[in-house]
Structure 1
Amino acid sequence: MPPTEPRAAGGRRRRGSRASAAEVVTLTAGGARFDNEALDELARAFARGDESAFEALQAQVRDRLYRLAYRITGRRDDALDVVQDALFKVYRDIGAWNERSAFYSWLYRVTTNLAIDRLRRRRRRTVLQQRIAERSSRRPRPGAEHEAVVDARHDDAVRLAQLRRAVDRLAPQQRAVVALRHYEGLPLAEIARIRGCALGTVKSTLHQALRNLQRMLAAERRSEGGGHGGA
């Protein structure tokens, strides 16, 4: 049975409060950390030829990899394919892990890169369809005007839906860093190791991503306000 789609966690915010992009992102963060030593030992055992170690390894990491891939790609089928490709790379290229970093760091790098590549390919293929879908999703439902005026601006579910749309529009590199930082809760230095870049690059990418999220959310709020304002 495939892993389930990530869900929002945490308590509801007080009605009428305003959440920054970073605050809303962290509503969905969570999940237990990997046992690094246990994973490293399983990876070493598999590298020595123990096939059962690979079965144990993938059982421990599959759900976490799925959640990471889903948060980058935004689609279940893409996330499942990314996980399958990542685990196949582990099976085929376990020797590429040089043990200078934790096994999970190497595995996260593999998964993140695969997810970014898949997202880029999908965006190149479906730019027009996505624009049409976005326009359609913003059309008011017949008879729902009163509901939108009363509830939409202060409803957590609506705010999270707005955030997901904004995250969907981030550049793939920004989306990956947001997922690693605010969903996986990884330190910036660890993200730099996973992405294979300088710490300063991670900081600037994350800063720009959060600024873009705040800008897009503010624009959507202004659009809603203009749509309901009197003519």
Structure 2
Amino acid sequence: MKSMEARLARMALKGDQHAFAEIVGLYQDKLYYMSYRMLYNRQEAEDVVQETFLRVYKNLDRYDDTMKFSTWIYRIATNLCIDRLRKRKPSFSLDAETGDHDGIDGYSMIPSDDRTPESELMLSDTQRIIHNAIETLPAKYKSVMVLRYLQDMSLQEIGDVLELPVTTVKTRVHRGREFLRKKLEHKL
């Protein structure tokens, strides 16, 4: 797959729009899924995917075909998601439980444009609790957890995407799991 993607990238760099369309076709759904799992917002995930492909197109000449194309494109998308998560951070702690609602923290009070009464009813309590727990993860743990458990990437691949040593990735996976375990201990 690496050689096919590298070939498509070279062809797109020479102006072949069909080759670039093939790259979009290969990655559009995968990048949307990953972005949505990090941002939990349909519009933001779509924006990230679009921005990722714009950056890929503008920077095809910088792609180093000695690295996997998937690593390069996931790095761009992940960084865009992390940037959005950081910009979203309010000045007060959303992790603190609100006094008037048992077990409800500030994140669950943020309205989401994706939620409808129908979709809310369809989510089981367990899914909702897990979703809320993942939402509260700090960006550096959230990106690692999404890539590891939802995108099924190896620790080495995550290290390549995030430009981190594998030991740091292992530590973040461990801390992310601990963070989720503590959050979920009292709720499930």
Q: TM-score, normalised by structure 2?
A: 0.81
Amino acid aligned to 1:54: F
Of the three residues 181, 187, 195, the one matched with 2:148 is 181
Q: Residue by residue, what CA displacement relative to the aligned partner does 1:129-180 show, whole Å, maximum 9, x if unpaired?
A: x95562699xxxxxxxxxxxxxxxxxx9322211110000001111111111
Higher RCO structure, 1 or 2 (CA under 8 Å, sep 6+): 1
Query: 1:115 aligns to what?
Result: 81
Cα separation, 2, equivalents of 1:204 and 1:187: 14
Would you say the 8 A contact 2:107–2:132 is kept in 1? no
Cα separation, 1, equivalents of 2:53 and 2:4: 17
Alignment of 1:60-139 (within 5 A): 60-124=26-90, 134=108
Shift of 1:125: 7.7
Query: 1:56 aligns to what?
Result: 22
Cα separation, 2, equivalents of 1:132 and 1:175: 17
Would you say the 8 A contact 2:36–2:42 is kept in 1? yes
Query: 2:98 aligns to what?
Result: none
Aligned to 2:3, the other structure's residue is in SS state helix
Amino acid aligned to 2:38: I
Cα 1:217–1:193 shift into 2, 3 Å: same
Cα separation, 2, equivalents of 1:199 and 1:85: 27
Cα separation, 2, equivalents of 1:193 and 1:133: 30
Structure 2 segments unaligned to the other structure (5+ residues): 95-103, 112-122
Aligned to 2:124, the other structure's residue is in SS state helix
Aligned to 2:56, the other structure's residue is in SS state helix
Query: 2:5 aligns to what?
Result: 39
RMSD: 2.3
Shift of 1:123: 2.5
Q: Residue by residue, what CA displacement relative to the aligned partner does 1:191-225 show, whole Å, maximum 9, x if unpaired?
A: 1011101000000000000000000001324xxxx
Cα separation, 2, equivalents of 1:121 and 1:136: 15
Cα 1:69–1:126 shift into 2, 3 Å: farther
Query: 1:203 aligns to what?
Result: 170
Shift of 1:183: 0.6
Q: TM-score, normalised by structure 1?
A: 0.67
Structure 1 segments unaligned to the other structure (5+ residues): 1-34, 138-155, 222-231
Aligned to 1:124, the other structure's residue is in SS state coil
Aligned to 1:98, the other structure's residue is in SS state coil
Query: 1:7 aligns to what?
Result: none
Query: 2:115 aligns to what?
Result: none
Q: Percent identity?
A: 29
Cα 1:65–1:125 shift into 2, 3 Å: farther
Query: 2:185 aligns to what?
Result: 218
Query: Across the two proteins, how many residue pairs are aligned to each other?
Result: 168
Cα 1:83–1:135 shift into 2, 3 Å: closer
Shift of 1:59: 1.6
